[in-house]
Homo-oligomer: A and B are copies of this chain.
Amino acid sequence: MADVARLAGVSSQTVSRVSNGYAGVNEETRQQVLEAMRELGYRPNSAARALKRGEFRTIGVITFGLSTTGNVRTLEAIATSAAHEGYAVTLLPVAVPTQDEVRGAFSRLGELAVDAVIVILEVHLLDAVTLSLPPHIKVVVADSDAGDRYTVVDTDQAGGSRDAVRYLLGLGHETVWHLAGPEESFAAQRRADAWRAELTGAGRATPPLVRGDWSAESGYRAGLELAGQPDCTAVFAANDQMALGLLRALHERGRYVPDDVSVIGFDDIPEAGSFLPPLTTVHQDFAEVGRRCVEGVLRQMGQDTPEHGTTLVPTRLVVRDSAGAPRSR
């Protein structure tokens, strides 16, 4: 900066003013400074800036792996929104979703150049971890039920599940089975709860819940099991990957979809329309979740007090070919 100032024949403060687009600079001076910057290839040093301003213009994102579509899409939207607002995004991968790992990530975060954190961790691990965060760092959590302590942005899991079950019942199915996600997952829990509630509300029997782990492979195993249940005519899978495995198992066992068994997924991953048959599924607007996370974080940075409360992003049932009326008995 000093070099630029010297070359342009001004003080370093004037360079700073130009560099920050400050108003009260003579147009002629400004051009000289810009020219000098160009000539010297000047780049403001972000460390010094951050030090001086006391903020990094960076948002940290804590996430467990990038294996699930939802996390990735949300992350992508976060990165885009953040970039749009002039914020950078720093990634904090948590290797294994254990209490210790999460705590570790949070404490690494403490020394990290970050003004705020968005946590995309659907598992029940946030509880004991709160304390280790420096107090000035703002937090938004996606996919959690910690709405009483944090700002939470979530998909309307319950609404989406309700729509799926209602749609299947509307097609004439006696009841709907559920292929759930892993126990540790908040999202899985809420989808299962809503499924159960909707069935109960409609006065239908609740079949035993089948557990998967989000993977297509687990869906396949569950599918082999379900294929053996002759009274199973409709399945609501908690995500599209498991639905994919389910489709394969049913196909292998000669149970045709949708003629013998109807299947509905959750997420609407880009490939869902290319499954065999194309999957009817609940569309999640991950991009919107990401945007609102960034929004929430920035809003909190404008004020001193942290917020809490939950924002729900609505879902939409995308009807394709994997669900139909049950074969008439």
Residues of A within 8 A of B (CB): 41, 43-48, 50-51, 56, 58, 65-67, 72-73, 75-76, 79-80, 83, 88-93, 95, 108, 110-113, 134, 215-217, 219-220, 241, 244-245, 247-248, 251, 270-271, 273-276, 278
Interface core residue of A65, A93, A248 (most chain B CB under 10 Å): A93
Q: Please report the C-alpha to C-alpha distance between residue A79 and residue B48 in the assembled complex, in whole angstroms.
A: 25
| Known interface pairs A43-B110, A45-B51, A58-B90; 14 further A-B residue pairs with C-beta atoms within 8 A, sorted by A's residue number | A43-B134, A47-B47, A47-B50, A56-B113, A67-B76, A67-B270, A75-B91, A88-B112, A89-B91, A90-B90, A216-B274, A220-B274, A244-B271, A248-B275
Residues in B with CB closer than 8 Å to A41 are: 134
A72 touches B66 (CB 8 A): yes
A113 touches B274 (CB 8 A): no
17 A-B pairs in the complex with CB atoms less than 8 angstroms apart = A43-B134, A46-B111, A47-B47, A47-B51, A47-B113, A56-B113, A58-B113, A65-B76, A66-B66, A66-B72, A66-B75, A79-B91, A80-B95, A215-B270, A217-B273, A217-B274, A219-B274
**Which residue of B has the minimal Cβ distance to A249?**
B274
Residues in B with CB closer than 8 Å to A247 are: 276
Write the nearest CB–CB distance from A263 to chain B, whole angstroms.
Answer: 13
A83 touches B93 (CB 8 A): yes
**Which residue of B has the minimal Cβ distance to A93?**
B79
Q: Please report the C-alpha to C-alpha distance between residue A51 and residue B52 in the assembled complex, in whole angstroms.
A: 11
Residues in B with CB closer than 8 Å to A72 are: 66, 72
Residues in B with CB closer than 8 Å to A216 are: 270-271, 273-274
Residues in B with CB closer than 8 Å to A134 are: 41, 43
Q: Please report the C-alpha to C-alpha distance between residue A204 and residue B201 in the assembled complex, in whole angstroms.
A: 64
Write the nearest CB–CB distance from A239 to chain B, whole angstroms.
Answer: 11
Known interface pairs A72-B66, A76-B66; A46-B113 also in contact (CB < 8 Å):
yes
**Which residue of B has the minimal Cβ distance to A278?**
B248
Q: Please report the C-alpha to C-alpha distance between residue A273 and residue B218 in the assembled complex, in whole angstroms.
A: 11
Interface core residue of A90, A91, A219, A247 (most chain B CB under 10 Å): A91
Q: Please report the C-alpha to C-alpha distance between residue A65 and residue B80 in the assembled complex, in whole angstroms.
A: 9
Interface core residue of A134, A217, A274, A278 (most chain B CB under 10 Å): A274
B113 touches A93 (CB 8 A): no
**Which residue of B has the minimal Cβ distance to A247?**
B276
Write the nearest CB–CB distance from A257 to chain B, whole angstroms.
Answer: 10
Q: Please report the C-alpha to C-alpha distance between residue A50 and residue B112 in the assembled complex, in whole angstroms.
A: 11
**Which residue of B has the minimal Cβ distance to A252?**
B276
Q: Please report the C-alpha to C-alpha distance between residue A45 and residue B47 in the assembled complex, in whole angstroms.
A: 10
Q: Please report the C-alpha to C-alpha distance between residue A79 and residue B278 in the assembled complex, in whole angstroms.
A: 34
B76 touches A83 (CB 8 A): no
Residues in B with CB closer than 8 Å to A92 are: 79, 83, 88
